[in-house]
Amino acid sequence: MEQAYNILLYYCYTQIEDPETFRDEHHELCLSLNLRGRIIVAAEGLNGTVSGLKADTERYMEAVKADPRFAHIDFKVEPYHKHSFAKLHVRVKPEIVHSDLHHINPNQRTGIHLSPAEFKKLKDAEDVVILDVRSNYEHAVGKFKNAVTLDIENFRDFPQKISELEQYKGKKIITYCTGGIKCEKASAFLLEQGFENVYQLHGGIIKYAIEEGGEDFEGKCYVFDGRVIADVNKVNPKVISTCYVCGTACDRMVNCANPDCNVHVPICEKCGWEMEGACSAECKSHPKKRPYDGTGYYVKESNGYNPFLNAKRAKKNQSAANCLTEEV
């Protein structure tokens, strides 16, 4: 299958003085390049994952890096055969990843960045602890061999688990996540709490897969696009999750067809069809149950979604401002 598209995963902690204006300009850039995806803009930086034709994503990366604020941004690039998103959303939020650690600036202090090659050499040492800082549903379907995982529903719960990590204070702790962004604040928080030997896998699981073949990552990597999960281990792959319904080995993630439940769990293909995409008999008979197409992935209702709408509003507001300036 021809891989005519690219999926980009990226983030950059940098100061953005006027996030609203930057959002409008960035939205226009993405529209001009026919990109789709989710992008978050905040005063502390930029975080995104988008898909587009290879030539368009190349132009996008060039345009972003041409801005001095993002000159050092690290794009993780994965070839794909189609758009991995149905829509484009560019939003302004308080943080580029929700952590509630607003006081931490990764540009001032954070864990030592390890390249994928350095991580591979160090990960099996006796004095090393590999710490997964992702949520339950992410590490349930895939994680590094022997990694320490935390029972958290969202990354903002991470600080509450610090007491569970006290036993590792004398060791080297290497944090990891999907693309590296959560580790920036997680590793900085560990340092703040008195942990001394703190490292992080630069570029996360995705970069490690691209550069080192994903060795010893067991299962699949949960991703935040239409793929839901991605194969990352080309060396010694292994399935670690089981079907939520029947218990057989399975790493196929499904959203329950009942939107009021919407639990995200592994469900094998056989049970998926038998349960019509539902995780239980109750959900299967629920009056709001969505039609199951074999994927278990449901695009949210568009409600008249128009990718140009916010761009038009921005232009309208600017025109109004120009008129007022001329009148004065």
Residue 177 bears catalytic tag: yes
Candidate list 12, 30, 177, 283, residue with the active-site label: 177
Element (H, E) at 89: strand 88-92
The three-class DSSP label of residue 212 is helix
Contact indicator for 90, 41 with CB cutoff of 8 Å:
yes
- For residue 208, give the nearest of 125, 144, 158 by alpha carbon: 144
Single-letter amino acid, residue 139: H
**Are 27 and 310 spatial neighbours (Cβ–Cβ below 8 Å)?**
yes
User: Residue 327 — φ and ψ, nearest 5°?
Assistant: -65, -40
Query: In sequence order, what E strands does 14-83 have?
Result: 36-42, 45-53, 76-80
Q: Which amino acid, one-letter code, is at 62?
A: E
The sign one gets for the Cα dihedral 281, 283, 288, 291 is negative
CA contacts within 13 A on the Cβ side of 204: 24
What is the pairing mode between strands 172-176 and 198-201?
Answer: parallel
Give the count of alpha carbons within 13 A of 53, CB side only.
Answer: 6
Active site amino acids: 177
